[in-house]
Structure 1
Amino acid sequence: MLRISKLNAWYGASHALQDISMEVSKGEIVCLIGRNGAGKTTTLKSIMGLMDRIRGSAIFKGKELLDQPAHARFALGLAYVPEERRIVQGLSVRENLRLGLVASPQKKRESELIDEIAQIFPRLAERLDQEAVTMSGGEQQMLAIARAMIGKPDLIMLDEPSEGIMPVLVDEMFALFRSMKTQGTTVLLVEQNVELALDIADRAYVLDQGAVVHHASAQELLADSEIKERYCSV
């Protein structure tokens, strides 16, 4: 579904990504692991079209992404949940969900899709008319994921979804990711809890200083004592 080839990105003079190559197949959960500053978030932002200076290739469903603006990539079926969540202040949960459909081909089914997403996220169903920013951090994270999911993307990229969230909500969230995979949604995941991410993933790429230094099945990486020592405590 997604093939990245020799992807390079810069922040000013800093060469943040160096010839990143990876693949994500339909129905997989693939995770990116590495220490802070390794280039994980930059990889997701580059794929989504949120970096000013990039070079290389990103083929999504047979189409080159790098010559497309971010909103066109979204329309192709690519969704991104950033680490910052970006819940819009002053809007209710329902109104934030509606924002996920503004540029979506699914916009005409808005009411139906909000009902569907409320069934998937029962915590949100109870709060549809509540101002979104008054919810807990974990509930806001669920809203950010729901807002990305409501347009039924083919691939959803998640950046550190468990950060700062109480364990009970993290468990709910990762159960949701398993369910998403079962239903055919493809996931590219950046997650600070490496063991938890590898437990649900099919494969993983290890990034270090802007380059892919290792790639293996999730189970192989979980069994690799050197990888666990170096990255699972991050």
Structure 2
Amino acid sequence: MLTVENLHAWYDHSHIIQGISLTVNTGEIVSVIGRNGAGKTTTLRTVMGLVAKRKGRVGFDDQGDILMESTHARYHHGLGYVPEDRRIVPALTVRENLRLGLVASALKGQEEAVIDRIAETFPRLKERLNQVAETMSGGEQQMLAIARATASEPKMIMLDEPSEGIMPVLVDEMFDLFIRLKDQGTTILLVEQNVERALGISDRAYIMDQGVIVHEAPAADLLENKEIQDRYCSV
């Protein structure tokens, strides 16, 4: 599904990503974990085409190398992305935010059917379709951001720190949701500071440190390896 090869990325003169390679197979949940500042968010932004200075190769689905394609083109290939800051429109209702996820989608003419589908997958949002987004809790707003990204039925979705600042009861609900999305056929690349929860739902995981991949393993193996977690993933 996704193949990243020798990827480099810069912000101005700062060389943030230094030749990383990773893969995400169709139907997997793959986590990228590591300390703050390791380069995890920059990795997702570069794969999505949001970092201007980059080199390497990003292969997605059957599209070949998409590294130099626009973010818009990547969206149309079926790549979704939920950034750390959510970027919902706070003054709009839940329903209106979900419609925004379909503006450039081939499903635009099927808005009500899509919203009905999302409401079944996200039961907490089903109760709040007419509620203004800014009146919801942070966790509910995060669910809305994820729901909006799934509206166009992407083949793969990248999630950046979805549990950050969320109350524990909603974190449990959110991780259950990721498993449900996987069961529905959505491939997931997850960046997450909650290492134990991320590894608990992932098939495989990569550990990043200072812009490079330092370890790759089945998530179950890393979940049991506290030495590696302490070395590379403590904040």
Which secondary structure does the structure 2 equivalent of 1:3 belong to? strand
Letter in 2 for 1:35: R
Aligned length: 234
Q: Is the 8 A contact 2:44 2:158 kept in 1?
A: yes
What amino acid maps onto 1:106 in structure 2?
Answer: L
What is the TM-score with the length of structure 1 in the denominator? 0.97
Q: Which amino acid aligns with 1:67?
A: M
Runs (5+) with no aligned partner, structure 1:
none
Contact 2:209 2:232 in 1 (8 A): no
SS in 2 for 1:113: helix
Shift of 1:62: 2.5
Q: Describe the superposition over 1:161-209 as per-residue Cα deviations: whole angstroms up to 9, x where unpaired.
A: 0001111110011001111111211000001100110010000111110
CA RMSD of aligned residues (A): 1.0
Deviation at 1:232, TM superposition (A): 5.0
Separation (CA, whole Å) in 2 of partners of 1:131 and 1:231: 40
**Does the alignment pair 1:14 with 2:14?**
yes
Q: Secondary structure at the match of 2:85?
A: coil
User: What corresponds to 2:88 in structure 1?
Assistant: 87
Alignment partner, residue 118 of structure 1:
119
- Point out where structure 2 has 5 or more consecutive residues left out of the alignment: none
What is the CA–CA distance in structure 2 between the aligned matches of 1:177 and 1:123, rounded to whole Å?
14
Number of the residue aligned with 1:227: 228
CA shift in 2, pair 1:233/1:35, >3 Å: closer
AA partner of residue 26 (structure 1): T
Q: Partner residue of 1:129?
A: 130
CA–CA distance in structure 2, aligned partners of residues 55 and 15 of structure 1:
11
Q: Which residue of 1 aligns with 2:180?
A: 179
- Alpha-carbon shift at residue 125 of structure 1 (Å): 1.3
Q: Distance in 2 between matches of 1:75 and 1:62?
A: 13
Q: Is 1:23 aligned with 2:23?
A: yes
Note the alpha carbon deviations across 1:134-183, whole angstroms, 9 max, x for none. Answer: 11101000000000011111000000000011111100110011111112
Q: Aligned residue for 1:157?
A: 158
What is the rounded CA distance, in whole Å, between the counterparts of 2:139 and 2:226 in structure 1?
31
User: Displacement of 1:228 after TM fit?
Assistant: 2.5
SS in 2 for 1:87: coil
The structure-2 alpha-carbon separation of the partners of 1:169 and 1:110, relative to structure 1 and needing over 3 Å to count, comes to: same
Percent identical: 63
Tell me if 1:32 matches 2:18. Answer: no
| Alpha-carbon offset, residue 86 of structure 1 | 0.5
For the residues of structure 1 that align with 2:150 and 2:108, how far apart are their CA atoms? 13
**8 A contact 1:58–1:66 mirrored in 2:** yes
> Which residue in the other structure is 1:192 paired with?
193
Residues in 1 aligned to 2:127 and 2:182: alpha-carbon distance in whole angstroms: 25
Contact 1:4 1:20 in 2 (8 A): yes
8 Å CA contact 1:193–1:232 kept in 2: the answer is no
TM-score normalised over the length of structure 2: 0.97
The CA deviation at 1:230 is 2.5
Shift of 1:231: 4.3
The one-letter code of the counterpart of 2:13 is A
- Note the C-alpha offset of 1:43: 0.3
